[in-house]
């Protein structure tokens, strides 16, 4: 493992965020909380939704059904063409908004799938999508549609649909998640090398099967980012790095250590270098630690 003899003493954080969310790409202070990972994950989720055949099938099915059934007080309120446009907007935006709020809820809970995910997502969807539906309805009323568009009724409809849909998604989610724990076990010859010993740090995590991507100093605690999400543990940053042996890795900043296998690239932005990880995080590369990364991954420079 490549690392200097001792990392610099980390600075204290003065700014506290009300929301505890995973963070997005590092344009700001490297110690900003979890907001730094949200935006890359959100962009990826929306791109996946846009390219999903399942999302397209759901859009066509729900919008067609709504055009025919005319639910939620729209019966006889619009002509066929207006119904197609109206429900295409309502259903299409709801699919992308639903995916976005689900991703935000997952980040709020640090990727842990529990009852809070559908609760948070449905709450955000209701508060944001209810006003949107009301405004769209008022626009159609302006152009002659006979919609009743009462704010309370629209809000209640949005709440009922949101909590129902997210509840169903929460129940069905485990069926569609990849089964990471079930893999084919190939035959191992006697001459095959032994599997590398996992780092001791994973014993401190809630998910001992975690594949650790990075370790960071965060507000007097140590934050561990893995394929399974993000966790904060009460352990000195330097001690956490020691417990990452024998995983090859290096410091890229006084507050960030990354596993070499998790590095996917390097980008330059506003004259500064950032290392990209396989989970779409971007971390700043300081001048002090750049040589270590160049030695470990010369292909990136």
Rg (CA), the chain: 24
Range of the structural domain that residue 210 is part of: 200-300
pLDDT tens for each residue of 290-300: 999 999 999 88
Give the pLDDT mean for 118-122: 91
pLDDT at 26 over 80: no
Angle 80-108/116-142 helices, nearest 10 degrees? 150
Structural domain count of the chain: 2
Confidence label for 169 from pLDDT (cuts 50, 70 and 90): confident
State whether 165 and 102 are in the same domain. yes
State whether 152 and 276 are in the same domain. no
pLDDT at 218 over 60: yes
Confidence label for 112 from pLDDT (cuts 50, 70 and 90): low
State whether 39 and 171 are in the same domain. yes
State whether 268 and 166 are in the same domain. no
Angle 151-176/116-142 helices, nearest 10 degrees? 140
Q: Contact, 77 vs 146, CB < 8 A?
A: yes
| CATH number of the domain to which 262 belongs | 2.40.50.1020
pLDDT at 150 over 80: yes
State whether 209 and 171 are in the same domain. no
Q: Is-above-0.95 flag for pTM?
A: no
Q: Contact, 9 vs 20, CB < 8 A?
A: no
> What is the DSSP secondary structure assignment for residue 23, as one 8-state letter?
B
Inside any domain, residue 19: no
Better-predicted residue by pLDDT, 292 or 1: 292
> What is the DSSP secondary structure assignment for residue 196, as one 8-state letter?
P
Better-predicted residue by pLDDT, 32 or 141: 141
Rounded distance, CA 8 to CA 282, Å? 21
Q: Contact, 118 vs 125, CB < 8 A?
A: no
**Which pLDDT score is estimated for 180?**
40
Rounded distance, CA 293 to CA 277, Å? 13
State whether 45 and 144 are in the same domain. yes
**Which pLDDT score is estimated for 244?**
93
State whether 60 and 140 are in the same domain. yes
Inside any domain, residue 91: yes
For 83, the enclosing helix (H) or strand (E) is helix 80-108
Rounded distance, CA 268 to CA 242, Å? 30
Confidence label for 191 from pLDDT (cuts 50, 70 and 90): low
Q: Which of 67, 70, 176 is nearest to 113 (CA)?
A: 176
Inside any domain, residue 8: no
Inside any domain, residue 90: yes
Give the pLDDT mean for 65-76: 90
Rounded distance, CA 62 to CA 94, Å? 11
Give the pLDDT mean for 107-129: 84
State whether 250 and 285 are in the same domain. yes
State whether 167 and 207 are in the same domain. no
pLDDT at 196 over 60: yes
The sheet with strand 272-277 has its strands ordered as: 263-269, 272-277, 282-284
Confidence label for 89 from pLDDT (cuts 50, 70 and 90): very high
Inside any domain, residue 206: yes
Put residue 85 in one of left, alpha, beta given phi > 0 → left and psi -120 to 50 → alpha: alpha
Burial of 225 per CB tally in 10 Å (0-12, 13-18, 19+): buried
pLDDT tens for each residue of 228-239: 888 889 999 999
User: Which of 143, 176, 209 is the endpoint of a domain?
Assistant: 176
State whether 50 and 128 are in the same domain. yes
State whether 217 and 269 are in the same domain. yes
3-state helix, strand, coil in the chain (%, to 5): 45, 15, 40
pLDDT tens for each residue of 200-214: 998 888 877 778 999
Inside any domain, residue 293: yes
Give the pLDDT mean for 78-99: 94
User: Which of 176, 209, 224 is the endpoint of a domain?
Assistant: 176
pLDDT at 93 over 70: yes
Inside any domain, residue 125: yes
Give the pLDDT mean for 51-78: 91
Cis peptide before 68 (omega within 30 of 0): no
State whether 64 and 101 are in the same domain. yes
Give the pLDDT mean for 260-285: 91
User: Which of 160, 176, 192 is the endpoint of a domain?
Assistant: 176
Confidence label for 280 from pLDDT (cuts 50, 70 and 90): confident
Inside any domain, residue 128: yes
Q: 213: which 2 tokens?
A: 């991507």
Average pLDDT, the chain: 80
Give the pLDDT mean for 84-91: 95
Rounded distance, CA 51 to CA 296, Å? 36
pLDDT at 289 over 90: yes
**Which pLDDT score is estimated for 274?**
93
Confidence label for 224 from pLDDT (cuts 50, 70 and 90): very high
**Which pLDDT score is estimated for 3?**
46
**Which pLDDT score is estimated for 240?**
93
**Which pLDDT score is estimated for 29?**
39
């Amino acid at each position: 493992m490549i690392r200097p003899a001792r990392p610099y003493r980390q600075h204290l954080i003065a700014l506290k965020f009300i929301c505890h969310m995973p963070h997005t790409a590092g344009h700001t202070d490297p110690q900003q909380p979890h907001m730094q990972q949200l935006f890359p994950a959100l962009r990826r989720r929306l791109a996946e939704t846009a390219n999903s055949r399942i999302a397209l099938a759901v859009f066509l099915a729900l919008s067609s059904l709504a055009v025919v059934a005319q639910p939620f007080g729209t019966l006889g309120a619009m002509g066929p063409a207006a119904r197609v446009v109206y429900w295409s907007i309502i259903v299409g935006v709801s699919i992308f908004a639903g995916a976005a709020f689900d991703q935000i809820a997952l980040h709020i809970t640090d990727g842990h799938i529990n009852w809070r995910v559908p609760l948070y997502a449905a709450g955000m969807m209701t508060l944001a999508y209810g006003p949107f539906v009301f405004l769209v309805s008022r626009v159609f009323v302006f152009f002659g549609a006979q919609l009743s568009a009462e704010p309370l009724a629209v809000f209640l409809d949005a709440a009922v649909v949101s909590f129902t849909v997210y509840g169903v998604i929460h129940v069905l989610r485990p069926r569609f998640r990849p089964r990471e724990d079930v893999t084919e076990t190939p035959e191992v010859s006697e001459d095959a090398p032994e599997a590398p010993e996992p780092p001791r740090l994973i014993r401190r995590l809630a998910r001992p099967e975690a594949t650790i991507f990075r370790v960071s100093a965060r507000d007097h605690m140590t934050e561990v980012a893995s394929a399974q999400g993000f966790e904060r543990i009460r352990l000195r940053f330097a001690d956490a790095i020691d417990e990452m042996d024998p995983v090859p890795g290096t410091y890229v900043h006084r507050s960030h250590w990354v596993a070499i296998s998790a590095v996917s690239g390097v980008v330059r932005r506003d004259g500064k270098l950032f290392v990209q990880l396989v989970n779409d995080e971007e971390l700043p590369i300081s001048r002090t630690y750049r040589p270590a990364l160049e030695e470990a991954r010369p292909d990136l420079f």
